[in-house]
Amino acid sequence: MKQSIAASIILLLTVVLITGAHAELVPVRILIGTREAIAAPSAVFDGNRVLGSVNILESLGATHDSEIGGKMSITNALGRTSDIETVRIKGSTMLPMNKVAEAIGLDYAWNAENRTLTLTARLESVEFADGVLKINCTIPVSCKVNHWSANNKLIIDIGSTKIATPANEVFIGSSLISRARLGQSDDTTARVVLDLEKDVSYKVNSAPLDAKIDISVSDKTEGAAAIPPAIGISKPFTVSDIKIEQLDDMRFQIVMSTSNKGSLNAAYAVKPAKIVLKLPACSLADTAKSYSGSHPLLSDMKITQDPASRVTRLELSLKRTMICDTSIDENSITALVRPPDKSGGALAEKLIVIDPGHGGIQPGAKSGSILEKDINLAIAREVADSLQKLGAKVILTRSTDQAVGLPERPGAAVDSGADIFISIHCNSNGTRNNLTGIETYYHMLEPSSRLLAEAVHDNVCTITGMCDRSARSDGRLYAGGLAVLRRLEGTGIPGFLVECGYLNNASDCSKLCSADYRKKVAQGIIKGVREYIEGN
């Protein structure tokens, strides 16, 4: 009995000590690839996550706005903007590094034994135009170029980087280069191989550490081509005048007079409807601290400056969700604000393609005898029936348990001239079963799709009461069904993919098998689509 009591006391003390240790802030290292990130205050682990200083964003090639209401807006090196929550540690603002990695687009690897967090860049795209190879990565990285003239190849190795683009081969078809092939030279080195049509000369124009690798390639027999200037941070510029010009009842443009060529990034919000225009390295003349003009859909526009980050913000409060198209000239920036693609009118006037994921010999995720393909089809039918009752026209990419090719799914929307594309899936994360909730994806290059996805996601989470795992860009998750979103790029058809719950989570699975839950999911999807179309 005494031994039992002593053992219990030891166990209790052990639990208390372990709990206390987890509650302490433990100093940790952060590696950006193989480089150590030096920032003050130092990074710490709070027992749950790594918290890093705001200063680390500079090493990641990102900029940020001032903290407002416990949130900070950060923009990565490729111009994409996200808001993340901040944490106060001993009077200093710190950032959860898992959220920073997600926002910027990084691979995140935490080694608890060594107390080291390693952040790895992602290679997102490769293109070749006008004699220039452009490789876009999410943070500044280094590259090494080897010219194998005997094998007619130009090999570019990008350090501390992993491939994120779905393409492993890019057809170029120029007189110099036939194609580019992508792969991993090793776990931390991305490789781009150019298959050459003839002997070439090349020059790396980008900085030793750059997110946008820029390499000029020219015909060696014809002499070197003109080399464009190296890519760098936007030059400082001044805005001297801001005016709003009404184009019609649904469109207006914001025209800014600038001292020289500037730059602009746009971020969107759905509830409430807003557009935030960010001008990096921009200062305002006194004449530009207010604006002239108005529009019926513009409730208010606030102009603010952050001296620390040198970012000027124009925050537009809108009466419905809108997007903007940007035009930048030597002495002006114009932001055309308009309703998103295929919006306007009534839901009953629209043609909507619904794509139940998987089917036939492609079961998707599994939970015992429960197959994702069957759940997807059941939800899709619920959505289709409800939409038809509201007067909308509906096309299902499959109405039975049949296999449908990946190109044919978005192809049904393109061929029919659809207004909206909806892809329905269920989630799974392998052997782990602790994740739950709704995720909704949009293609990273389509702002209209983003607004549609966010409207749907908000309503599905609200109506079902499920965990909100956020509306997300497909820019860092290019596998499987998300390819259907990329095939809609440039078609003007907004689309989204909703993951309606985790089949390998017992609670989510029981909900997905419930007709009542599937009806709620359908209600959320339809309410979000209707808000997007009708502007409510």
Q: Looking at residue 15, what is its pLDDT?
A: 40
Using CA atoms, how far apart are residues 58 and 19, in angstroms rounded to an integer? 34
Contact assessment for residue 180 and residue 190, using Cβ atoms and an 8 Å cutoff: no
Using CA atoms, how far apart are residues 464 and 523, in angstroms rounded to an integer? 9
26 and 131 in a single domain? The answer is no
257 and 404 in a single domain? The answer is no
Residues of the chain with pLDDT under 50: 1-2, 4-22, 223-233, 476-481
Cα angle at 96 between 117 and 98, to 5 degrees? 55
Two tokens, residue 322: 């809108």
Using CA atoms, how far apart are residues 420 and 446, in angstroms rounded to an integer? 13
256 and 174 in a single domain? The answer is no
CB under 8 Å, gap of 24 or more: what pairs does 409-415 form? 409/355, 409/484, 409/487, 410/355, 410/484, 410/485, 410/487, 410/488, 410/491, 410/493, 410/495, 411/487, 412/353, 412/355, 413/353, 413/488, 413/491, 413/493, 413/495, 414/488, 414/491, 414/493
| One-letter amino acid for residue 152 of the chain | N
Question: Hey, which bits of 397-437 come out as E strands?
Answer: 420-427
Single out the residue of 512, 357, 339, 360 nearest to residue 421, CA to CA: 357
User: Which 3 state secondary structure label does DSSP give 378?
Assistant: helix
364 and 404 in a single domain? The answer is yes
Single out the residue of 460, 444, 453, 464 nearest to residue 532, CA to CA: 453
Using CA atoms, how far apart are residues 249 and 251, in angstroms rounded to an integer? 6
Torsion of CA 381, 385, 387, 392, to 10 degrees: 110
- Residue 296: asked if its preceding bond is cis (omega within 30°), the reply is no
Q: Looking at residue 165, what is its pLDDT?
A: 64
User: Which 3 state secondary structure label does DSSP give 365?
Assistant: coil
In a domain, 1, yes or no: no
Contact assessment for residue 529 and residue 453, using Cβ atoms and an 8 Å cutoff: no
CA diameter of the chain: 93
307 and 180 in a single domain? The answer is no
pLDDT digits over 485-510, tens only? Answer: 888 888 999 999 999 999 999 999 99
β partners of residue 338: 323
Cα angle at 446 between 442 and 451, to 5 degrees? 65
In a domain, 43, yes or no: yes
Q: Please state, in angstroms and as integers, the Cα–Cα distance from residue 9 to each residue in 2, 5, 20, 370, 390, following that order.
A: 11, 6, 16, 46, 66
The number of folded domains in the chain is 4
Using CA atoms, how far apart are residues 50 and 85, in angstroms rounded to an integer? 14
Among the three residues 294, 318, 338, which one is the final residue of a domain in this structure? 338
133 and 161 in a single domain? The answer is yes
Q: Looking at residue 222, what is its pLDDT?
A: 54
187 and 257 in a single domain? The answer is no
490 and 375 in a single domain? The answer is yes
Domain containing 300 equals 237-338
| One-letter amino acid for residue 514 of the chain | S
Q: What is the DSSP letter of 226?
A: P
Q: Looking at residue 357, what is its pLDDT?
A: 93
Backbone angles phi, psi at 261, to 5 degrees: -70, 125
250 and 274 in a single domain? The answer is yes
Crossing angle between the packed helical segments 372-389 and 515-534, to the nearest 10 degrees: 50
- Predicted TM-score (pTM) of this structure: 0.59
Contact assessment for residue 455 and residue 270, using Cβ atoms and an 8 Å cutoff: yes
**CB within 8 Å of 400: residues ≥ 6 apart:** 377
Among the three residues 162, 192, 222, which one is the final residue of a domain in this structure? 222
| One-letter amino acid for residue 424 of the chain | I
Among the three residues 118, 151, 186, which one is the final residue of a domain in this structure? 118
- Radius of gyration for the alpha carbons in the chain, expressed in angstroms and rounded: 26
In a domain, 218, yes or no: yes
Q: Looking at residue 476, what is its pLDDT?
A: 45
Question: Hey, which bits of 153-209 come out as E strands?
Answer: 153-159, 161-163, 169-171, 177-186, 189-196, 200-204
332 and 362 in a single domain? The answer is no
Crossing angle between the packed helical segments 515-534 and 447-464, to the nearest 10 degrees: 140
User: Which 3 state secondary structure label does DSSP give 167?
Assistant: coil
In a domain, 92, yes or no: yes
β partners of residue 84: 72
β partners of residue 291: none
392 and 496 in a single domain? The answer is yes
Q: What share of the chain is helix, strand, coil (3-state, %, to 5)?
A: 25, 40, 35
Using CA atoms, how far apart are residues 468 and 456, in angstroms rounded to an integer? 12
483 and 403 in a single domain? The answer is yes
Q: Please state, in angstroms and as integers, the Cα–Cα distance from residue 507 to each residue in 266, 365, 437, 438, following that order.
A: 38, 15, 10, 13
Two tokens, residue 171: 């057809």
Q: Residue 151 belongs to a domain with what CATH number? A: 2.60.40.3500
In a domain, 13, yes or no: no
Single out the residue of 24, 20, 29, 44 nearest to residue 111, CA to CA: 29
